[in-house]
A and B are shown apart, each in its own frame.
Chain A
């Protein structure tokens, strides 16, 4: 397992370098000139040159990349062209919000998707199966940000305690408060803000998990060892949960990793819908202002997080299924 972990982590290096080159080039090949935009129409050529030197745009592209990447490794993503503050500080102030949203979206997707899939598989062909499959089909066909808009319109506007925009305190802070001061106020405050955004982002993933759990469990339940388990007189509950589900969940673990990227992408737009103060909204706002350092750092950050999540998923998969380690 140790060897596998090390090998898998070393494989990350070229991927992350590749992502950084891609992100760097993407922004630097842009047709718009950020300095011209920043200076406006009445700038003198001297002003232009000075600013160009400050931002280092006058140097060759590869020199710019190495200096940018070198600084990025040390956690310095430069200064926001528009706001004049360090990009790293901006990203770090937004990152917890995005991560918390992602965490609760996955949590929602798994806690509802898996039981629904199991139920559908056990009651195969029943109305429960049919309706959960229809639900899953609708879930994957719905853009998350639209679901967010619908939830805002028809739920938040009708239920008094659900806010429409923004973020309260962190739910984790709320949980901390619950255990230290026995006050539920902070927890409830965080929860009511995160509920609808997490629902809109997590629904598509829930739908995919439901479908996969169902088909995976159905396949496993046809295996010989399930028949053996039944034959030796085990109760149906034990057969389904201990012998069936444990094996059926392996592909589900993989899909959570793959779908995490789709979810992060969707979160960028959903954050805009709910005015959620995360990295996604930071990027979207930076785009309209052509604030390149923020776009670079934001996209790079989310891509690296996605890569790391996939590493964790791969490792946990290898932990659950020893056969993987030796390929």
Chain B
């Protein structure tokens, strides 16, 4: 599989982007050229370094004179952490609900899937906004909101996979041998649903990052002093005439992150499902 990954150009670029990003987030403290929290209003709104010869700030400074590059580097943590934990939680509950529904069938299945349909019938970002508005702004609540809106898709994919696999001969054999439902479901069925779930989760990371940025942009996500890209964009909007670099660069960070996950997700889908690639 690793070989195929290297051969698939898109997936490789995506993977490299994501690895770089994760490394940046982990080693943020050592990579920042300046203290991202250090305020100095005498140098506020300084233009990016490659435009102004004498500037020490490559991507300029914000309204408080803080280094934009350092803040983008630090901000990668919140983006990745919120999106990652939310996707993980959505994966946990979504796969669980989808697997139980698909395996048990009947009323349980109908109940779970109708509830998933209900969540899907409200536009995801709108529902996330409403949930955070209810729970109150903050990183943890944003995470919960993103996880909730991401659950239905995971549940649907898992359910459809489980429905297909549970009729296979080897599952029937397992039942005949008297294995417990738990063992059959988790050891034999879910192990074989791995590929599409990974694809959906990877693509879902991109969505989760956009939703996180949207929530922070509206002031519903991470609260200061925590640095987040969405929040930086909201600040940049205030100074759109005088300091366009405040909206450009944090946004580019979001775009490249989402792009990375989209490329990897698309690539993985091609690898797992070679028929699609023929197109």
Chain A interface (Cβ within 8 Å of chain B)? 14-15, 18-19, 22-23, 26-27, 29-32, 137-138, 140-143, 145-146, 149-150, 152-154, 157, 164, 215, 218-219, 261-262, 264-266, 268-269, 272-273, 283-284, 287-288, 295, 299, 302-303, 306-307
With A26-B131, A27-B134 as contacts: A272 and B218 at CB distance below 8 Å: yes
Question: Chain B contacts of A138 at CB under 8 A?
Answer: 255, 259
| Distance A14 CA – B251 CA, assembled complex (angstroms) | 40
Report the stretch among B82-90, B116-124, B178-186 that lies at the interface: B116-124
Question: Chain B contacts of A262 at CB under 8 A?
Answer: 123-125
B122 touches A269 (CB 8 A): no
A295 touches B130 (CB 8 A): yes
Report the minimum CB–CB distance from A163 to chain B (whole Å). 13
With A153-B247, A272-B218 as contacts: A284 and B118 at CB distance below 8 Å: no
Report the stretch among B49-57, B96-104, B158-166, B235-243 that lies at the interface: B235-243
| Distance A18 CA – B237 CA, assembled complex (angstroms) | 37
B217 within 8 A of A: yes
Interface of B is mostly: helix
Question: Chain A contacts of B114 at CB under 8 A?
Answer: 14, 18
Q: What count of chain B residues pass the 8 Å CB interface test?
A: 43
B247 touches A283 (CB 8 A): no
Closest 7 CB pairs of A and B: A265-B125, A265-B123, A146-B251, A141-B259, A287-B133, A141-B258, A261-B123
A150 touches B251 (CB 8 A): yes
Q: List 20 A-B contacts (CB under 8 A).
A: A19-B118, A26-B131, A32-B136, A141-B206, A141-B255, A141-B259, A143-B210, A143-B213, A143-B258, A149-B240, A150-B248, A157-B240, A157-B241, A261-B121, A264-B123, A264-B126, A268-B129, A269-B214, A295-B133, A306-B122
Report the minimum CB–CB distance from A153 to chain B (whole Å). 4
Q: Across the two chains, which residue of chain B brings its CB closest to A32? A: B136
Question: Chain B contacts of A295 at CB under 8 A?
Answer: 130, 133
